[in-house]
Structure 1
Amino acid sequence: MTRSALLLALGLSLGSASVSRAQTGTPSGTVRTDTIWSQSLGVYKALVVYLPPSYRANARTRYPLLVYLHGRTGSERNWVDAGWLHLTMDSLAHTGAPEAIIAMPDGDDGWYATWNQLGDVNACRADTTRREPAATYCVPWTRYDDYIARDIVSHMDSRYRTVARRESRGIAGLSMGGFGAITLALQYPDVFAAAASHSGVVSPRYLGPKPFAPPPRYANTTAELQASARNLWSDLRWVMGKDTIGWNARDPGHMAQRLQQLVQQRAASAGPRLPQLMFDVGADDAYVDQNRDLHATLTRLGVPHRYAEWPGAHTWSYWQTHSAESLQFLLGNVAGR
């Protein structure tokens, strides 16, 4: 089915990824907010949860778990308030797609990774320009990867009727969250079977050429990495740190290469498996060359993935339009297993 036909089947226009329940008449899921303790971060965190339309009626049914990550400066409510993800999921279910539970966590500006350097907690708490309270944003332990893969998944599996196995979990995100989705799936292949990224910052060391062309050039010094990061440097500098070994450990291309090598070494045993990967980006997005670079890297490595470029930029209009595609991709790789 083409993208246009898919959107029409969902009752969606090409310019909008969802419509109201009143317009479609579809059964609606439930959106709620939990407060959870994160052992990995050392603070309480808000977690938005979507429960599918049949969840309350079918008390014995278990569902796949999808985790959707917000972008930098975002919040746990972004995918609902700006992305209308719950309405898109309702519409997909109405057309016969498998239902799923969706967790949308608060990731601060933490990049969903363990930072290479500890942040300045005191300076964070003294910042009066930030909207989020210091009590939940200024975390003492910056292990945002364990927070998602362990704390969030554990909470969802214990509180809700998820299918608590790797084969029934997928993860997605936009921008910073796209970086998080790809890296978390590669770092925790025992937890997630599939990952999708929209407009992700997926090659943070990429310097050029622009537009992308081989051979690529990558940052090898802190000054070059700062030049590549541009406006992201204020928090990305804590994540990446000052040593290139730390950069490689957090780089999606290097992570994919390491996991592929590990899979090949343990091919005869029940070792790790490569997650299914999908990523897309708008042709006018500032990170389009980073996505092209990751696509070229995965192609060179022989790592299976799905890649697409569409008209659009780094905007909610783009993410609203394409969220149905990541949902379908994840559901196609985790549902019913």
Structure 2
Amino acid sequence: MALLQCNFVSETLEISASMNVIIPQGEKRRPLKTLYLLHGLSDDHTIWCRRTSIERYADAYGIAVVMPAVNRSFYADMAHGAKYWTFVSEELPRLARSFFPLSDRREDNFAAGLSMGGYGALKLGLSHPDRFAAVASLSGAVDVNRLVAEGFGGDIKNIVGDTNSVVGTSIDLFALAERVADQSGSPLLYQCCGTEDFLYEDNIRFRDHCRKLGLPLTYEEEPGDHEWGYWDLKIQKVLSWLPL
């Protein structure tokens, strides 16, 4: 495996942006199946490599892993900030495929993430079911409605602006799940959360919502908190779960 830090200019963000990329060596299985692996609120593009053995885990599956930096954006086109949703959903895949031998086929593309990144991965899959075969959320911040209602610091105001509700909007995972359920071809969904995690109740609500809609959801829970020991174990489960 090759681990590369890629610095490039993002026209969408109008800044120099960064991503870490894991690429299998050799000529086999190209173009490559690709996992877009997303970081949490307090992290950056280096965190998965620093806190887990993702390079070693990915090697066993011959899969490329793209890990972008999106700051504290919640993978949104921010009300007071940059267009990180446009960046991660449109510009990033296009640029990554121009730099590296990555497949553009739906069946070869996946997304996963932790906390804020779990939200981002589900948002990618539910917003673009034609582009992703499977998406996974680890301890995801899945209920943005609650975060807005409870005034989750300055971050939420920067993301959604001066509003008291985002119910039914394009950043509401519950609404996105309903729209996908009304169509055909939902990506496979994987969701896990530790029972001691502060986001556990949010995850239970989203799990029950997806089950009621009949979406193809695999849900797992066990004792665990919002921490890297748990995510290091669960990203291995995600890789074994992906339809590779």
TM-score with structure 2 setting the length? 0.93
Kindly indicate whether residue 80 of structure 2 is the aligned counterpart of residue 118 of structure 1: yes
- How far apart are 1:245 and its partner, in Å? 6.4
Change (3 A) 1:180 1:58: same
- How far apart are 1:237 and its partner, in Å? 2.2
User: How many angstroms apart in 2 are the aligned matches of 1:150 and 1:66?
Assistant: 15
User: How many angstroms apart in 2 are the aligned matches of 1:58 and 1:199?
Assistant: 35
Question: AA paired with 2:80?
Answer: L
Correspondent of 1:260 among 181, 189, 194: 181
Change (3 A) 1:322 1:37: same
Secondary structure of 1:205 counterpart: helix
User: How many angstroms apart in 2 are the aligned matches of 1:39 and 1:328?
Assistant: 35
Higher RCO (Cα < 8 Å, 6 or more apart):
1
Q: Please, what is the CA RMSD of the aligned residues?
A: 1.8
Question: AA paired with 1:118?
Answer: H
Structure 1 portions without partners, runs of 5+: 1-28, 120-141, 207-218, 265-272
Contact map agreement 1:204 1:290 (CA 8 A) in 2 = no
Deviations 1:276-330 (A, max 9, x none): 1101001110000000000011111112211111211000111111110112223
Change (3 A) 1:242 1:248: farther
> Could you tell me which residue of structure 2 aligns to residue 318 of structure 1?
230
- How far apart are 1:83 and its partner, in Å? 1.9
Greater shift, 250-259 or 69-78, is seen at: 250-259
User: How many angstroms apart in 2 are the aligned matches of 1:74 and 1:145?
Assistant: 17
Q: Report the structure, 1 or 2, having the larger strand content.
A: 2
Question: AA paired with 1:225?
Answer: E
> Could you tell me which residue of structure 1 aligns to residue 157 of structure 2?
237
Change (3 A) 1:248 1:241: farther
Kindly indicate whether residue 16 of structure 2 is the aligned counterpart of residue 44 of structure 1: yes
Contact map agreement 1:145 1:184 (CA 8 A) in 2 = no
Change (3 A) 1:313 1:275: same
Deviations 1:249-299 (A, max 9, x none): 1111111102222x16xxxxxxxx311110100111000000000001111
Kindly indicate whether residue 154 of structure 2 is the aligned counterpart of residue 225 of structure 1: no
Q: Which has the larger radius of gyration?
A: 1
User: How many angstroms apart in 2 are the aligned matches of 1:237 and 1:193?
Assistant: 32
Structure 2 portions without partners, runs of 5+: none
Correspondent of 2:56 among 60, 67, 87: 87
Question: AA paired with 1:252?
Answer: L
User: How many angstroms apart in 1 are the aligned matches of 2:72 and 2:140?
Assistant: 14
Deviations 1:175-232 (A, max 9, x none): 00001100111112232221101000001224xxxxxxxxxxxx8xx6x331xx3xxx
User: How many angstroms apart in 2 are the aligned matches of 1:239 and 1:258?
Assistant: 22
Deviations 1:103-155 (A, max 9, x none): 0000101111222x224xxxxxxxxxxxxxxxxxxxxxx22122112121112
Kindly indicate whether residue 232 of structure 2 is the aligned counterpart of residue 328 of structure 1: no
Change (3 A) 1:309 1:59: closer
Kindly indicate whether residue 218 of structure 2 is the aligned counterpart of residue 306 of structure 1: yes
Identical-pair percentage: 27
Correspondent of 1:72 among 41, 57, 60: 41
Kindly indicate whether residue 100 of structure 2 is the aligned counterpart of residue 155 of structure 1: no
User: How many angstroms apart in 1 are the aligned matches of 2:210 and 2:29?
Assistant: 40
Contact map agreement 1:77 1:104 (CA 8 A) in 2 = yes
Question: AA paired with 2:202?
Answer: Q
Secondary structure of 2:40 counterpart: coil
Contact map agreement 1:241 1:247 (CA 8 A) in 2 = no
Kindly indicate whether residue 129 of structure 2 is the aligned counterpart of residue 189 of structure 1: yes
Secondary structure of 1:285 counterpart: coil
Contact map agreement 2:74 2:120 (CA 8 A) in 1 = yes
Alignment: residue pair count:
243
> Could you tell me which residue of structure 2 aligns to residue 63 of structure 1?
32
Secondary structure of 2:104 counterpart: coil
- How far apart are 1:236 and its partner, in Å? 1.9
Secondary structure of 1:156 counterpart: helix
- How far apart are 1:102 and its partner, in Å? 0.5
Contact map agreement 2:77 2:84 (CA 8 A) in 1 = yes
Contact map agreement 1:65 1:163 (CA 8 A) in 2 = yes
